[in-house]
Amino acid sequence: MRSHIALFIAILVSLLCALLGSLISQHSSQQIRQNVGGDLAEVSFAMVDRLDRDMASRAAVLKVLGNLQALRNPQDTGEIRRLLDSLQQEMPSISWIGFTDPQGLVLASSNGVLEGVSIAQRPVYLQGRDGLFIGDVHDAVLLANLLPNPTGEAMKFVDISLPIHGSDGNLVGVLASHLSWAWADEVRRSILAPSQDRHLVEFFVIGQDRNILLGPRAMIGQKLELPVLGELQPGQSRWKIQRWPDGKEYLTGLTLSQGYQDYPGLGWTVVARQSLEQAYAPAYELRSDIIVLGAGLAVIFAFLGWMISGYFTRPLQDIASAADHLSAGEATEIPELQGSREVRQLSHSIRHLVESLTQQQTALGVMESLAHHDALTGLPNRIALEKFLPMAQQRSRLLQGCLALLYLDLDGFKPINDTHGHAAGDQLLAEVAQRLRHCLREGDMVARLGGDEFVMVLLVPEQDAQRHAQLVAERTIAALGMPITLEVGQVNIGCSVGGAIWPQDHDNLGNVLQLADLALYQAKHGGRNCARFHQPAADLS
């Protein structure tokens, strides 16, 4: 027996440690998912904001340059070239910048590249002569052959151009520039640099057409389709677990560009991702450590259990057996055990505790039932109704339905009560309650507010909510209109019903109940034994 107890303790501790490790790992994974997902959304926002700001600042620089007299009155092309060369040296991301005449012929450019060449058919000129133009990422084969390219990779550019007008307002030329798209990769590296933990994070810049503009070399130019991409709004950051085209799941943070100041943005989406396996690695390592630690603790506790079990095993086993029966809902008693003083005291204390808890549970059940139910009809009372309404409201929201509140008042009850006495009236109310129950569907409720007033709470579909409530009201009127046999004989009563729908009639449930009460007033004065529903003209102020 001692060996069995020791083995049991070892297994129990091992299972508890495994369960604890699993729970901690689960919790840690959830926290990691939240933290890493939030971080990915933040860094994607940081990068898209940086890209937008850089694009806006470069456009602003070109605007300032375009206001210089040297360009507005282009007499000295050498001076213009020196300005453009100086700007390129200060801003290396500008791969090429040039100034054209009104017909698109390049008059001056950085390093003299393309001077004397017409770019009249290129979008950078065609769009730039009409106003500020910021074009999306594209290849520029001609420039790529003329500009230095130490890496040998395909060069991509972003265009910025604007018209230059003279003092008389006439077009004197177009200031056009090509920004190297390698600048975006520099932004990516600068954002990742502060945190070494992000070395496993991958960045993507997605164009408005969902093509990958920046990312792993093998994926550039491919179309990326992720469900979450269609859910983003400009400037919005989100993170989700997404399955990528390679079949793996990644924590994915995204931000859609919203531009900056006057720059409207180009619809870029910056995506940051990290594989779930990499993100959850700390949680998996923690779980393994807990399991190893639990195995050691299991051995230690098993040995201690084997040492002390000889004296306590038998009496405690009897108590445990009785307790197991109680937990299973069986009627049993804790035995009065003989043995050491501590064991006898434990047995006696547990017996009294179980008896006390049983008595308290029984008393609480009786008190709760009395507090929430009408003593005469057995129906829920006003307190129970107030407790039920918020739960019904929440359930209605989950099911995307409505709540119909029917206010009921018996017609002809008072004469029966006055003629045959209160005993007959009580018997009549009990029969009415029974019939009202039969008119309800599962999940609905009927409560007695007092006297001969009742309230029905119905869960109805949003479409044709009033029609469904009308059917229940008519069924109720018909049921209560049938003769009722009492000890004093057979009697007949009627029922008037007032109804209102939440949230169609009012978004406050208390006000909807008032509207149902007003509708009941209309039913009582409209011929009785009928149902009236709230009309919009009667809305509460």
At 456-493, the pLDDT tens digits run: 999 999 888 889 999 999 999 999 889 988 888 888 88
What mean pLDDT do residues 501-524 have?
Answer: 91
Q: 503 preceded by cis ω (within 30°)? A: yes
Q: 536 preceded by cis ω (within 30°)? A: no
**Distinct helix (H) and strand (E) counts, the chain:** 14, 18
Q: What is the pLDDT of residue 313?
A: 58
- CATH number of the domain enclosing 126: 3.30.450.20
What mean pLDDT do residues 207-221 have?
Answer: 83
pLDDT digits (tens, 9 = 90+) for 382-407: 888 888 999 988 988 888 889 999 99
pLDDT digits (tens, 9 = 90+) for 517-529: 999 999 888 777 8
pLDDT digits (tens, 9 = 90+) for 34-83: 888 888 888 888 888 888 888 888 888 888 888 888 888 888 888 888 98
Tokens of 44: 């994607």
Name the average pLDDT for the chain: 80
Residue 105: pLDDT band (50, 70, 90) is very high
**Structure-derived torsion over alpha carbons of residues 271, 272, 274, 276, reported in degrees to the nearest 10:** -50
Beta-bridge partner residues of 275: 250
CA distance 177 to 508: 60
What mean pLDDT do residues 503-508 have?
Answer: 90
Percent above pLDDT 90 for the chain: 12
Q: Which residues, at least 6 apart from 16, have a Cβ–Cβ distance to it below 8 Å? A: 294
Res 540 pLDDT > 50: no
Last residue of a domain, one of 300, 317, 334: 317
Q: What is the pLDDT of residue 155?
A: 65
DSSP code at position 113: T
In terms of domains, do 232 and 313 share one? yes
Residue with tokens 């020196």: 82
In terms of domains, do 294 and 406 share one? no
Half-sphere exposure (Cβ direction) of 321: Cα atoms closer than 13 Å = 8
Asked if residue 494 is part of any domain, the answer here is: yes
Calculate the alpha carbon distances from 493 to 385, 453, 497, 526, 529 in Å. 25, 14, 14, 17, 9
- CATH number of the domain enclosing 392: 3.30.70.270
* Interaxial angle between packed helices 281-327 and 2-66, expressed in degrees from 0 to 180 and rounded to the nearest 10: 140
pLDDT digits (tens, 9 = 90+) for 340-387: 666 667 666 666 666 665 555 544 444 555 567 887 888 898 888 888
Its domain, for residue 405, covers 382-538
Residue 455: pLDDT band (50, 70, 90) is very high
Element (H, E) at 98: strand 94-100
Name the residue type at position 80. Answer: I
Name the burial class of residue 357, with classes exposed (0-12), middle (13-18) and buried (19+) by CB atoms within 10 angstroms of its CB. Answer: exposed
Res 317 pLDDT > 50: yes
What mean pLDDT do residues 290-296 have?
Answer: 71
Asked if residue 356 is part of any domain, the answer here is: no
In terms of domains, do 131 and 254 share one? yes
Last residue of a domain, one of 261, 295, 317: 317
Tokens of 371: 């507090």
Asked if residue 325 is part of any domain, the answer here is: no
Residue pair 186/257 in contact (Cβ under 8 Å)? The answer is no
Tokens of 74: 């282009």
Show the DSSP H helices in 67-177 as ranges: 69-72, 77-90, 123-126, 141-146
Active site residue 130: no
Q: What is the distance of C-alpha 342 from the center of its chain?
A: 54
Last residue of a domain, one of 301, 317, 333: 317
What's the domain count of the chain? 2
Find the catalytic residue in 52, 54, 444, 452. Answer: 452
Res 246 pLDDT > 70: yes
Asked if residue 162 is part of any domain, the answer here is: yes
